[in-house]
Amino acid sequence: MFYNLIKETNINEYLKAPILDGIELLNAQNCTINFPLHKHETYNISLITKNNFHTDLIDRSFVASVGSIAITNPNELHATPCDSEIGNSFITFYVPPTLIKHLVGTNNIKLKKRVIYDKKLFSDFLWLSKKQHLLDVRFEIFFFNSLSVLLTKSGLNKNDNRFDDSLRLFLKELIVNEENFSLTAIASKYGINKYKFIRLFKQETGLTPKQFVILKRIDKSKSLLRCGRPIFDVAIDCGFYDNAHFYKYFKQYTGVNPLEFQSTFVS
């Protein structure tokens, strides 16, 4: 049960629905992990079931209380510190932008209101989280109805792009060549010292180059794990030193270890 008060911490489970483009969920119970600055390609819809839920964005923070719904947008940097002693419990739906487009008919939509207080809507999403395994068109209809209500209550904005062309070209280069990433070499290529480069990069992205590279490696590792690649091979292919190094960062950013994540997709 989602509301049980148990002493054991970090009872986290990663789930995947068989419909709705394979929408993914994280069921975190008594989670004590402090998730560092990171981002997702999805909309995160989190049901808060125990303890106030803090979200730190680049320019502000917000708190969602028990019984409310917290929202973050795709590619939005955020950190979620959890209570280090008794933990936080929450259920997060990772909603692909394609599902939002299905409802509103356009891409690059940004949800405005970050915390929704609505008992019925919360109850509806909680029910959906418990029934995510169903292959039933009624589940899909109920999900889209609930999502429509959420979009109405949050409000919509057209997302803007913060990156200029030169930074976008740099990021593309960094993504392609991240295995051979050298801060000194890239800063030299752009004609500035590495400390100024770090400052400018963080000013534009909210992350240091190192944090950016780790996030890209975690994203790449998720794709390989979903395909059933051996975990050690994934670790090495994604630039981690060994399994221990990989496990440490993967759980820090996702809430579950690579094996737990992979078992959701590979039987």
Domain span at residue 175? 165-263
Q: Quick one: 138 and 191 in the same domain?
A: no
Please check the confidence at residue 119 and state whether its pLDDT lies above 60: yes
pTM of the model: 0.81
145 — pLDDT class (breaks 50, 70, 90) = very high
The side-by-side arrangement of strands in the sheet containing 115-116 is: 11-16, 24-31, 88-95, 43-50, 69-72, 115-116
Tokens 């292959």 sit on residue: 135
Of 143, 158, 173, the one marking the end of a domain is: 158
Q: What is the pLDDT of residues 48-66, one digit of tens each?
A: 999 999 999 988 899 999 9
Of 133, 158, 183, the one marking the end of a domain is: 158
pLDDT for res 162 = 47
Reduce the DSSP state of residue 167 to 3 states and report it.
helix
* pLDDT-above-70 percentage for the chain: 86
Q: What is the CATH number of the domain that holds 184?
A: 1.10.10.60
Query: 240, 78, 30: which is closest to 258 by C-alpha?
Result: 240
Domain count, the chain: 2
Q: What is the CATH number of the domain that holds 30?
A: 2.60.120.10
159 — pLDDT class (breaks 50, 70, 90) = low
